[in-house]
Amino acid sequence: MLFEDPAYASQLLTLLTLSFHIIYATIGVGLPLMIMIAQWIGIRNNDPHYLLMARRWAKGFVVTVAVGVVTGTAIGLQLALLWPSFMELAGNIIALPLFMEVFAFFFEAIFLGIYLYTWDRFDNPKKHLLLLIPVAVGSGMSAFFITMVNSFMNSPAGFDIVNGELVNANPLLAMFTVSMPTKVAHVLATGYMTIAFLLAAIAAYRLIKGSHKEYHTKALHMTMKIGLIFALAAAVIGDFSGKYLAEYQPEKLAAAEWHFETSSEAPLVMWGMLDENNETRFALEIPFALSILAHGTPGAEVIGLEEFPAEEQPPLVIHYFFDLMVTIGMFLLLLSLVYWVATWRNWTFIQRPWYRWLIVLGGPLAFLGIEAGWWMAEVGRQPWILRGLMTIEEAATTSDYVGLMFIFFAVLYFILGVGTVVVLRHMFRKNPVEEDLAKYQGGEQA
Partner 1 sequence: MTLEIIGISVLWLFLFGYIIVGSIDYGAGFFNAYSIVTRKEHVVSKIIQRYLSPVWEVTNVFFVFFFVGIIGFFPQTAFYYGTTLLIPASIALILLAIRGSYYAFESYGKRGHKGYAIMYGLSGLLIPASLSVVLTISEGGFIHIENGAPVLDYVALFFNPLTWSVVVLSLIAVLYISAVFLTWYANETGDQHATDLMRKYALGWSIPLIIAASGIIIELRFHNEEHYQRILDFWWMFAISFVLWGLTVWLIWQRRRYGTAFWLLVGQFAFAFFGYGISHYPYLLYPHFSIYEGFTNEAMAISLIVVFILGMALLIPSLYLLLRLFLFDENYKKGKK
- 153-182 positions binding partner 1, by CB under 8 A: 166, 169-172
Question: Is residue 15 close enough to count as binding partner 1 by CB under 8 A?
Answer: no
Binders in 419-438 for partner 1, by CB under 8 A? 419, 422-423, 426-427
CB nearer to partner 1: give 65 or 231: 65
Binders in 75-114 for partner 1, by CB under 8 A? 76-78, 80-85, 87-93, 95-96, 98-103, 105-107, 109-114
Binders in 277-296 for partner 1, by CB under 8 A? none
* Shortest distance, position 307 Cβ to partner 1, whole Å: 34
* Shortest distance, position 149 Cβ to partner 1, whole Å: 11
What distance in Å separates the CA atoms of residue 414 and residue 396, rounded to the nearest whole number? 25
Question: Is residue 65 close enough to count as binding partner 1 by CB under 8 A?
Answer: yes
Question: Is residue 7 close enough to count as binding partner 1 by CB under 8 A?
Answer: no
Strand partners, 273: 281
- Which of 251, 275, 274 lies closest to 262 in space, CA to CA? 251
Binders in 124-153 for partner 1, by CB under 8 A? 134
CB nearer to partner 1: give 89 or 290: 89
Question: Is residue 274 close enough to count as binding partner 1 by CB under 8 A?
Answer: no
Q: Give the end-to-end CA distance of the chain in Å, rounded to a whole number.
A: 53
What distance in Å separates the CA atoms of residue 415 and residue 396, rounded to the nearest whole number? 27
**Contact window for partner 1 (CB under 8 A) among 46-54, 60-68, 298-306, 367-375:** 60-68
How many residues at the interface with partner 1, by CB under 8 A? 71
Q: Could you count the other beta carbons within 10 Å of the beta carbon of residue 285?
A: 13
Question: Is residue 62 close enough to count as binding partner 1 by CB under 8 A?
Answer: yes
What distance in Å separates the CA atoms of residue 380 and residue 383, rounded to the nearest whole number? 8
Q: What is the helix (H) or strand (E) element at residue 162, kind and residue range?
A: strand 160-162
- Which of 181, 202, 184 lies closest to 192 in space, CA to CA? 184
Are 291 and 273 in contact by the 8 Å Cβ rule? The answer is no
Are 409 and 74 in contact by the 8 Å Cβ rule? The answer is yes
Burial class (CB within 10 angstroms; exposed 0-12, middle 13-18, buried 19+) of 445? exposed
Question: Is residue 391 close enough to count as binding partner 1 by CB under 8 A?
Answer: no
CA angle (175, 367, 248) in 5-degree steps = 35
* Shortest distance, position 223 Cβ to partner 1, whole Å: 23
Question: Is residue 66 close enough to count as binding partner 1 by CB under 8 A?
Answer: yes
Q: Applying CB under 8 A, which of residues 54, 74, 246, 269 lies at the interface with partner 1?
A: 74
